[in-house]
Amino acid sequence: MTQATLESIPIPTPTLERPIVAQRGGTLRTKSWRTEGLLRMLENVLEVGENPRNLVVYAALGKAARDWASYERIRKALIELADDETLMIQSGKPIGVFQTHAGAPRVLLANSNLVGRWATTEHFYELYAKGKIAWGGLTAGCWQYIGFQGVLQGTFETFGALARVEFGVDDLRGRLVVTAGLGGMGSAQPLALTMLHAVSITAEVSATRALARRDAGLVQHVTSDLEEALKIALEARDRGEACSVAWIGNAVTLLETLLERGIKPDVVTDMTSAHDALHGYVPQGVTLEEAAVLRESFPERLVQHSRDSMVRHVQLMLEHRDRGSIVFDYGNNLRSQARDHGFPQAFEIKVFTESYLRDLFARGIGPFRWVALSGDPADIRWTDALLERLYPDHANIQRWIAAARAHVPFQGLAARTAWLGHGQRTQVALEINVAVARGDLSAPVAFSRDHLDAGSMAHPNIMTENLKDGTDAVADWPILNALLLTSSGADLVAVHSGGGGYAGYMTSAGVTTIADGSADAAERLKRVMNNDTGWGVLRYADAGYEASIQTATEAGLQALGLEVDAVNEGRP
């Protein structure tokens, strides 16, 4: 594409509600594409985020920067940053710029990492109230969120794997899935389920959110009439047709009603913001408006109501399980909240990662993603064709690309996710870097991934629950992942821990690397991709997963940890 056409890629107009939009086209505002790419990623998380006026990207409180003054200083620093300098950001606040070298990351971030005994929700909020900390979520604070598509494929993979594991089939045709929450992450559920031919009912307390999701094409029907919601869903199920219904109401009430009526969903889960009893979850019997008033005036009372309601929520999920539904936790800390509030049986509910995704992670396969910094959907369509060409025999990749093309509207800077493994990510990144150099793509491309990846997350209640060797809570793995990626020459590396209701629950690492078509970028991309997935494979190999040991052997990874274990166990 010529510079002239590139410049004609329209930049959306900022509004009061959405004050930041990402720059499109080929004009550099910074000294190189490495910094321009990161600046566009920062702008993009706000363009596609849930509450950009408050810098919130998703999950109630996950922020792109600590405050607007920090945002402006980060922006200015990126514009001025030389290609041998590194900007240091602490919980969303820029602290300083240091002389490093060309192969070093341009940005290093740490978000909400508190020392063990102090890593509590209460201490987090004390610091938060004083403006001393911010929670980066997983991909909010390090500018890697790409809107619902990121979680869409995770949701698609999870339910696809559930269909294989639980029902021995490839999709969910003729099955009823009941869930809740149509937030930044949760709204991926109805679309992913439709893509797998299921019928879904999603409870959402906010009518505004439910209607916005319908207007965005993520859910087909919205109603506040539960009778109508059930009728539409059950008739579609009986016809074997895919159908998604959002019911405006509380998740707890939906589960209760289904039990009363003797309706047995095939699958029950939940994606309300249960990790946060104050800002996220709305208790049964409290309207959205009442919750807002309580939050302001009687926050402790709201937290108490939320936790009572979460216990009831989990009890109902277990009742559905006892009546034969497949019930799983979808990573929102609902079980921990219920356990901490006196209901330890909450952990009888299994978690999605262990049940459905572990085998993929063990082989280093996880949520890879890339963003066309031009903003041009044509660039992503080119990469879709590349994947189809590179992996003709890989049914999952082919199915996802076809489904994404048909169902996933572009949001913000055009982007694509694909669950790729060791070697595949390197191949795709290098091919795309060559395409940038050749001019097949109109501008550079940023490569990233979710933090929920093989070697990058310790989260004993989600990602690492029930690991074979009991190392669920060992946070060395994500920290070493970040150090390795820093020394491999990524453009941005981040270490995050949980904030809000997630304080003390997790540590994770994030990475972004820009393919600007240069030979230098090719070298750094190769190291970053190989080392990131290689580390993931070795993490699971070290925990004793056979699939990882086999992948490590096939890939020729230097598995010294396994050699140490073999000697310690007296094996040759």
Residue 469, CA distances (Å) to 27, 160, 544, 546 in order? 51, 27, 7, 13
Residue among 280 and 489 whose Cβ is closer to ligand NAD: 280
Task: Tell me if residue 470 falls in helix, strand or coil.
Answer: coil
CB of 266 to ligand NAD, least distance (A): 19
* Amino acid type, 503: A
Closest CA to 387 of 373, 368, 406, 374: 368
The residues of the shown chain that bind ligand NAD, judged by CB under 6 A, are 50, 58-60, 151, 154, 180-186, 203-206, 209, 250-251, 271-275, 280-282, 330-332, 452
Residue of minimal Cβ distance to ligand NAD: 183
Q: From the CB of 544, what's the least distance to ligand NAD, in Å? A: 24
Q: Residue 73 or residue 496: which is nearer to ligand NAD going by CB?
A: 496
Residues β-bridged to residue 248 = 204
CB of 183 or CB of 455, closer to ligand NAD: 183
Q: Is the dihedral of CA 164, 170, 175, 180 positive or negative?
A: positive
Name residues whose C-beta falls within 8 Å of residue 558's C-beta, 6 or more positions apart in sequence: none
Phi, psi of 9 (to 5 degrees): -65, 115
We find the least distance from the C-beta atom of residue 62 to ligand NAD, in angstroms, to be 8
Shortest gap between Cβ of 283 and ligand NAD (angstroms)? Answer: 7
Question: What backbone phi and psi angles, to 5 degrees, belong to 342?
Answer: 95, 20
> Rounded to an integer, what distance in angstroms lies between the CA atom of residue 476 and that of residue 543?
13
State the Cα–Cα distance between residues 387 and 321, nearest whole angstrom. 39
Distances in Å between the alpha carbon of 413 and those of 96, 213, 380, 445?
Answer: 28, 19, 10, 10
CB of 374 to ligand NAD, least distance (A): 27
* Euclidean distance between CA atoms 246 and 179, whole angstroms: 10
- State the minimum distance, in angstroms, from the CB of residue 184 to ligand NAD: 4
Instruction: Indicate the residue type of 321.
Output: R
Closer by beta carbon to ligand NAD, 65 or else 251: 251
**Angle, CA of 52, 55 and 56, to the nearest 5°:** 80
**Of 50 and 376, CB closest to ligand NAD:** 50
209/524 with CB nearer ligand NAD: 209
What is the Cα 496 distance to its own chain's centre? Answer: 13
Instruction: Provide the minimum distance between the beta carbon of 427 and ligand NAD in the complex, in angstroms, as a whole number.
Output: 26
Instruction: Give least dist CB 61 to ligand NAD, A.
Output: 8
What 8-state DSSP symbol labels residue 280? T
Nearer to ligand NAD, 212 or 479 (CB): 212
Whichever of 205 and 233 has its CB closer to ligand NAD, that residue is 205
